Amino acid sequence: MTGHGFDVEQVRKDFPILQRRLAEDRPLVYLDSANTSQKPQSVIDTLTEHYERHNANVARAVHQLGEESTAAFEGARDKIAAFIGAPSRDEIIFTRGITEAINLVSNVLAWADEPYRVGPGDEVVVTEMEHHSNIVPWQLLTQRTGATLKWFGITDDGRLDLSNIDELITERTKVVSLVHVSNMLGTINPVAEIARRAKAVGALVVLDAAQAGPQLPYDVMETGADLIGFTGHKLLGPTGIGVLWGRSEVLAALPPFHGGGEMIEDVRMERSTYAPAPHKFEAGTPPIAQAIGLGAAIDYLSALGMENVAAHEQAITGYALERMLEVPGVRILGPTDMVDRGGAISFTMEGLHPHDISQVLDSYGIAVRGGHHCAKPAHRRLGAQSSTRVSGYLYTTEAEIDAMIEGLHQVRKFFGVA
């Protein structure tokens, strides 16, 4: 099968895990990429080579290995800056993942100077379709500071309900934080429009781009946001690495998060002064190999072209939606067409539980996710206790979607609902 601007079969050869055979010698059908993506050989080799040849701590050693390691680590920062259209490499902060990126922001806002400080009487706005990692940190912040948490609701078809935007975003709003592409519903949110409204009242805009980063050509400046989180393992990179991008002036004004080595300028026993961003926010030895591995992942994606990756994601998701709607009893949670829609497809099946669906699919070598996908409020809103989620990526073929559809028919047969 030929994708859009790249040959999917050729791409698949770059991912060794896709050669695995499971479940009585069936080929692995990996449809859980919204959970974590598989890794190309180039990323795996980069990690190995780092540990085999260049391993040293960064920024602390003048020896040759230290220089090589530092150059590769800082080189990864350059690659990421270019990949997301950041005006400056100093706007790229390495974190452990997007969860840490969001917690960094929500924590420092409790201590920030005006106009950023969140305190009593202030309001933080999120949405009902957030991943728990963009809900709980804001609950912690507002509960601890006496601020108030508000949220946009969801429409029945899984879009943000913007009808009460004037009541939600007011002069009391200090932060608006939302997901760019939903990991559960697949919805692509109108972030630029919401950012414009938030900026008009002087609020900070934070985006969760955990799913948008892997799926869309990204330009941080076009979003209108101030701070944006990414997570490396969904971007073909290793686990344990994420990115927080922030506008220079915002990063300069925010206080440090963790204290430790590398984030300082000078330390005296009474007090310390801090390094400028990004190092101000990177205390301690960072995930070095992981950052370098993420750099290799970005090289891989850039070589394919994010426009092509996005086009393939659109095509494969559209095909999957069309075929899934043919299966009796299937209800899609989220948009059922490809208008402003990304790659995650969550669904329920009449009379069948997601655990049982995924267990039967697994017996055919098909990997999907069953559960609440860390989005319990969105499930509750749409009247589902949990769902099954299918999510393909740049290596996903129509034949794999066909295998999954056949699997769904088998599930119905197995539990006697056919």
Ligand X SMILES: Cc1ncc(COP(=O)(O)O)c(C=O)c1O
Q: Residue 313 belongs to what H/E stretch?
A: helix 306-324
Nearer to other proteins, 137 or 354 (CB): 354
Site for ligand X in 92-121 (CB under 6 A): 97-99
Using CB under 8 A as the criterion, which residues of the chain lie in contact with other proteins when the complex forms? 23-24, 353-356, 359-360, 363, 370-372, 376, 379, 385-386, 414-416
Catalytic residue among 1, 275, 374, 405: 374
Question: Minimum CB separation from ligand X for residue 178, in Å?
Answer: 10
Site for ligand X in 119-138 (CB under 6 A): 131, 133
Nearer to other proteins, 43 or 403 (CB): 403
Q: How many helices and strands, by DSSP H and E, does the chain display?
A: 15, 18
Q: Residue 291 belongs to what H/E stretch?
A: helix 288-304
210 binds ligand X (CB under 6 A): yes
Query: Exposure pattern of 365-400 as b/e (b: 16+ CB <10 Å)?
Result: bbbbbbbbbbbebbbebbebebbbbbbbbbbbbeeb
389 binds, among ligand X, other proteins, none (CB under 5 to 8 A by kind): none
Question: Minimum CB separation from ligand X for residue 287, in Å?
Answer: 12
- For residue 239, give the 3-state DSSP assignment: coil
Tokens for 180, please give them.
Answer: 């760019």
279 binds, among other proteins, ligand X, none (CB under 5 to 8 A by kind): none
Binders of ligand X: how many residues, by CB under 6 A? 13
Question: Minimum CB separation from other proteins for residue 353, in Å?
Answer: 4
In eight-state DSSP terms, residue 415 is T
For residue 284, which of 308, 261, 316 has the smallest C-alpha distance?
A: 261
**Contact string (CB under 6 A) for ligand X, positions 28-67, x = contact:** ----------------------------------------
99 binds, among ligand X, other proteins, none (CB under 5 to 8 A by kind): ligand X
Which residue do the tokens 């040293």 mark?
A: 56
In eight-state DSSP terms, residue 112 is P
199 binds, among other proteins, ligand X, none (CB under 5 to 8 A by kind): none
Query: Residues in the chain, how many?
Result: 418
Whether residue 77 contacts residue 89, with contact meaning beta carbons closer than 8 Å, is answered with yes
231 binds ligand X (CB under 6 A): yes
Q: Which amino acid is at 195?
A: A
Which residue do the tokens 């690659």 mark?
A: 79
**Contact string (CB under 6 A) for ligand X, positions 150-189, x = contact:** -----------------------------x---x------
Burial status of residue 239 (CB atoms within 10 A of its CB: 0-12, 13-18, 19 or more) = middle
Instruction: Assess whether 374 carries a catalytic annotation.
Output: yes
Interacting residue ranges for ligand X, rule: CB under 6 A: 97-99, 131, 133, 179, 183, 208, 210-211, 231, 233, 374
Catalytic residue list? 374
